Amino acid sequence: MSEFNKKLILEDGSEYKGFGFGADRESVCEIVFNTSMVGYQEIISDPSYTDQAVVMSYPLIGNYGITDEDFESKMVNLGGLIVREVNENPSNFRFTRTLTELLQDYDVPGIYGVDTRKLVRSIRDNGSGKVLITDISTDTESAVKRLKETQLRRDAVSRCSCKKRWYARTTNPRFNVVAIDCGMKMNIVRELNAHGCNVTVVPYNTSPEEIMKMNPDGLFISNGPGDPEDVPEVIATLRSLRGRLPMFGICLGHQLIALSYGAKTYKLKFGHRGGNHPVKDLSTGKIEITSQNHSYAVDEASVPGTGLKVSHINLLDNTVEGLCSEADKVFSVQYHPESAPGPQDSTYLFDRFIENMTGNIHSENGGR
Catalytic sites, residue numbers: 251, 336, 338
Whether 246 and 173 have beta carbons less than 8 Å apart is answered as no
Question: Whole-angstrom Cα distance, residue 190 to residue 136?
Answer: 43
Whether 181 and 157 have beta carbons less than 8 Å apart is answered as no
Which residues, including other chains, have CB under 8 Å from residue 64's CB and lie 6 or more apart?
Answer: 38, 90, 91, 92, 94, 95
- The SS3 assignment for 200 reads strand
How far from 330 is each of 117, 258, 279, 291, 368, CA to CA, in Å?
Answer: 40, 10, 19, 21, 18
Question: Whole-angstrom Cα distance, residue 148 to residue 140?
Answer: 12
User: What b/e string do you get for 318-346 counting C-beta neighbours within 10 Å, with b at 16 or more?
Assistant: ebbbbbbbeebbbbbbbbbbbbbbbbebb
